[in-house]
């Protein structure tokens, strides 16, 4: 029994089956290089043949319609003929050109276009196959219950695969945004991608366990492991079926709509959350934009990410939290000073209000994206009314700029406060009169109220979201919101805990912003309570 | 040769589908049309070329037409790019 693991989360679920290792090489005789002229002719013939094959496939597929343009592209044939002229054989020239054009696309600073590298490689694979003995269906011989194992799956493979037979996918290359992941998630087939070394470890016919939820593949499992996973698979399927029924449901309590939002840390998260049935995004962490590069993201880059997230929400609310960083998650270009107490230091809104120009760039990007959907803005770590007033003042200034520039935005964009400090709890009524919504951030709130660090084992027992002081804080915040007639939600771990759902419902909490994996679970729990009433 | 510089307003940038239609249009013209950014210049009849520009919404593109009915060719491509809404 061997275990391979990756941190990439491709497609959830557990499958047990036989490995089908895809062989894309032709088993024909080795390629014999001819004269320069012959190599050119062979390439031209292979290109014509590829064009004809794709033309047939293109009649009922948009993917192949785009491929047809690529195979006819002068840039493609120019790249290959140039390498043949340098003395390479036709298949070698095709391989080199494929690498070059693929790399050119991968370098594009746009996730969608970078992913087109796969389409380009896909076409080169076809041309190469036509040069060396013809295209064969690499999935011939796939049987019911097989798990597909390959280095990488291509868009054109999707037309050749018989999904009814396939239990799971494992690939050595790829990321969570690869084509195969999107397909696998849509079909609820477990997949593990980016599993380096899998092709060296697995051969066709090996018994495999694919644990898409844990990013694990077990090769030749022993009986005990097999039994354990089979049980997990059954439980997962039963629960999934039950929860799926709740996922898209609209939930009401005493005639009031209860919303289950999701927490998201990237545009892909938003897409996943929407696919999982979220009623909106209750917490869009903007930090990812700031942490992933060596310099501050431009207004345009931020706008593109926020607008893409807003479009993915398709009219449902998208609450964007402004930058929430501090000494514990510093970014190099901001030059954070070393602090003895980063959690009581220069962080979140305190940073934004001081780095005013950076704050403006973020607010302008959020405002511009608000033209694309129900975008709302939320300020983290508010402790005084002055901070909120100043942040709102900067927002108004940005609105005035955009109006002057003739740029579209949502004029009545909702402004919210994240309630995560004891100070905010104590002045909740004052804050409520000055904003449109609250979101209770339970993780930091528990830590600040209880003065206990959850990572410190000696005091971890005090870090208790159910302790009386924290309960009372929640009641104060929710009732202050109710009295002011504004919405109040909760993001943070407690909202995702189905054991807390009943308690929170009793407190009149109507918005739960949960981890993506918990959407159907919490909806199921809310639905169950609704039905028991 | 005639040219015009425009800003791409398509919300999703120049993606595969509009790029494919643009290529078809360019191939049907009686002269050469190129698209250029600050970085490089490509034929409007090359799908790979257009996609490799990585044109995002808001990008500046200089469209140039050479040969044939230059003015009409330029207008056809410029109008097409301005009308991309997806």
Q: How many Å apart are CA A374 and CA A514, to the nearest integer?
A: 19
pLDDT digits (tens, 9 = 90+) for A499-524: 889 899 989 999 999 988 788 888 88
Torsion of Cα atoms, A370 then B7 then A302 then A376, to 10°: 0
Residue ranges of chain A that CATH labels 1.10.274.10: 36-131
Q: How many Å apart are CA A469 and CA A422, to the nearest integer?
A: 10
The chain-wide mean pLDDT, for chain A, equals 87
Closest CA to A438 of A373, A372, A508: A508
Task: Note whether B48 contacts A70, CB cutoff 8 Å.
Answer: yes
Confidence band, pLDDT 50/70/90 cuts, at residue A211? very high
Tell me the domain boundaries of chain B: 2-82
Q: How many Å apart are CA B79 and CA A440, to the nearest integer?
A: 50
Closest CA to A296 of A337, A333, A336, A351: A333
pLDDT digits (tens, 9 = 90+) for A330-382: 676 777 777 778 788 899 999 999 999 999 999 999 999 999 999 999 999 99
pLDDT digits (tens, 9 = 90+) for B1-10: 999 999 998 8
> Is B15 a known active-site residue?
yes
Residue A244 predicted with pLDDT over 90: no
Task: Note whether A105 contacts B23, CB cutoff 8 Å.
Answer: no
Report the chain A residue with the minimal C-alpha distance to residue B48.
A70
Cβ pairs bridging A and B (under 8 Å): 56
**CB half-sphere exposure, A432, CA atoms < 13 A:** 21
Closest CA to A117 of A72, A179, A68, A65: A179
Q: How many Å apart are CA B49 and CA B66, to the nearest integer?
A: 18
The answer to whether A120 faces chain B, any CB pair under 8 Å, is yes
A349: three-class secondary structure by DSSP: helix
Tell me the pairing of strands B41-43 and B32-36: antiparallel
A161: three-class secondary structure by DSSP: coil
The pLDDT of residue A157: 81
A360: three-class secondary structure by DSSP: helix
The answer to whether A46 faces chain B, any CB pair under 8 Å, is no
Q: How many Å apart are CA A281 and CA A306, to the nearest integer?
A: 12
Q: From the CB of residue B7, how many other CB atoms can be counted at a distance below 10 Å? A: 11
**Residue of A72, A108, A119 with shortest CB distance to B54:** A108
Task: Note whether B54 contacts A110, CB cutoff 8 Å.
Answer: yes
The answer to whether A405 faces chain B, any CB pair under 8 Å, is no
For an interface test with A, which of B10, B48, B59 has the most A Cβ atoms less than 10 Å from its Cβ? Answer: B48
Residue A281's φ and ψ, nearest 5 degrees, are -115, 115
Q: How many Å apart are CA A503 and CA A239, to the nearest integer?
A: 23
**B52 close to B84: Cβ distance less than 8 angstroms:** no
Q: Classify residue A171 as left (phi > 0), alpha (psi -120 to 50) or beta.
A: beta
Report the chain A residue with the minimal C-alpha distance to residue B14.
A113
Q: What is the CATH number of domain A257-532?
A: 3.20.20.60
**Residue of B17, B24, B51 with shortest CB distance to A113:** B51
**Residue of B15, B17, B48 with shortest CB distance to A73:** B48
Q: What is the CATH number of domain B2-82?
A: 3.30.1340.10
Task: Note whether B17 contacts A62, CB cutoff 8 Å.
Answer: yes
pLDDT digits (tens, 9 = 90+) for A431-462: 999 999 999 998 889 999 999 887 677 787 88
Instruction: Give the ipTM.
Output: 0.71
Report the chain B residue with the minimal C-alpha distance to residue A65.
B20
Distance from CA of A300 to the nearest CA of B (A): 9
Q: Does the domain at residues A36-131 carry the CATH identifier 1.10.274.10?
A: yes
The pLDDT of residue A178: 67
Name residue B35's beta-bridge partners. Answer: B42, B63
The CATH class, in words, for A2-24+138-240 is: alpha beta
Residue ranges of chain A that CATH labels 3.50.30.10: 2-24+138-240
**Residue of B11, B47, B58 with shortest CB distance to A73:** B47
Residue ranges of chain A that CATH labels 3.20.20.60: 257-532
Q: How many Å apart are CA A393 and CA A407, to the nearest integer?
A: 19
Residue A27's φ and ψ, nearest 5 degrees, are -85, 15
Residues of B in Cβ contact (< 8 Å) with A108: 52, 54
Report the chain A residue with the minimal C-alpha distance to residue B56.
A110
């Amino acid at each position: 029994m061997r275990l391979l693991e990756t941190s990439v989360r491709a497609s959830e679920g557990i499958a047990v089956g036989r490995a089908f290792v895809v062989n894309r090489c032709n088993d024909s005789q080795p390629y014999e290089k001819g004269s320069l002229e012959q190599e050119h002719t062979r390439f031209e013939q292979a290109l014509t043949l590829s064009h004809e094959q794709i033309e047939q496939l293109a009649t009922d597929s948009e993917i192949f319609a785009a491929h047809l343009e690529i195979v006819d592209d002068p840039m493609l044939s120019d790249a290959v003929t140039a390498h043949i002229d340098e003395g390479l054989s036709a298949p070698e020239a095709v391989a080199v050109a494929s690498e070059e054009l693929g790399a050119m696309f991968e370098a594009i600073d746009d996730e969608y276009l970078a992913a087109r590298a796969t389409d380009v490689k896909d076409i080169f694979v076809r041309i190469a196959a036509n040069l060396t003995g013809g295209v064969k269906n690499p999935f011939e011989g796939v049987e019911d219950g097989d798990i597909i194992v390959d280095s990488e799956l291509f868009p054109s493979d999707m037309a050749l695969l018989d999904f009814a037979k396939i239990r799971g996918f494992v690939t050595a290359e790829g990321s969570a945004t690869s084509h195969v992941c999107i397909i696998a998630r849509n079909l609820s087939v477990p997949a593990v991608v980016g599993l380096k070394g899998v092709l060296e470890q697995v051969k066709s016919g090996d018994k495999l366990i694919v644990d898409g939820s844990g990013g694990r593949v077990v090769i030749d499992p022993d009986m005990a492991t097999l039994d354990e996973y089979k049980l997990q698979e059954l439980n997962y399927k039963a629960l999934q079926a039950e929860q799926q029924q709740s996922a898209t449901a609209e939930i009401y309590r005493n005639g009031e709509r209860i919303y289950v939002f999701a927490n998201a840390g990237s545009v892909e998260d938003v897409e996943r959350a929407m696919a999982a049935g979220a009623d909106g995004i209750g917490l869009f962490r903007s930090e990812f934009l700031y942490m992933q590069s060596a310099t501050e993201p431009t207004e345009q880059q931020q706008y593109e990410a926020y607008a893409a997230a807003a479009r993915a929400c398709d009219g449902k609310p998208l609450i964007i939290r402004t930058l929430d960083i501090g000494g514990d998650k510093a970014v190099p270009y901001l030059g954070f000073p070393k602090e003895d107490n980063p959690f009581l230091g220069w962080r979140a809104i305190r940073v934004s209000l001081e780095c005013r120009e950076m704050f403006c760039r973020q607010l302008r990007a959020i405002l511009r994206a608000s033209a694309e959907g129900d975008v709302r803005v939320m300020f983290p770590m508010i402790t005084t009314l002055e901070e909120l007033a100043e942040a709102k003042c900067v927002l108004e200034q940005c609105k005035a700029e955009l109006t002057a520039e003739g740029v579209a935005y949502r004029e009545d964009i909702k402004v919210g406060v994240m309630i995560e400090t004891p100070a905010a709890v104590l002045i909740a009524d004052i804050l409520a009169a000055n904003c449109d919504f609250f979101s209770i951030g339970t993780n930091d709130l528990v830590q600040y109220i209880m003065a206990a660090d959850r990572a410190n084992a000696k005091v971890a027992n005090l870090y208790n979201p159910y302790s009386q002081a924290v309960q009372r804080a929640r009641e104060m915040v929710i009732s202050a919101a109710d009295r002011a007639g504004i919405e109040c939600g909760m993001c943070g771990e407690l909202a995702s805990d189905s054991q807390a759902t009943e308690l929170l419902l009793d407190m009149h909490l109507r918005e739960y912003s949960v981890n993506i994996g918990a959407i159907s679970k919490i909806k199921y729990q809310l639905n169950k309570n609704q039905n028991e009433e | 040769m005639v040219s015009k510089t425009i800003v791409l307003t398509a919300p999703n940038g120049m993606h595969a589908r509009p790029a494919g239609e643009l290529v078809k249009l360019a191939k049907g013209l009686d002269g050469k049309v190129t698209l250029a950014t600050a970085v490089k210049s490509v034929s409007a009849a090359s799908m790979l070329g257009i996609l490799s520009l990585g044109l995002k919404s808001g990008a500046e593109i200089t469209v140039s037409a050479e040969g044939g009915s230059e003015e009409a060719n330029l207008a056809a491509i410029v109008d097409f790019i301005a009308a991309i809404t997806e």
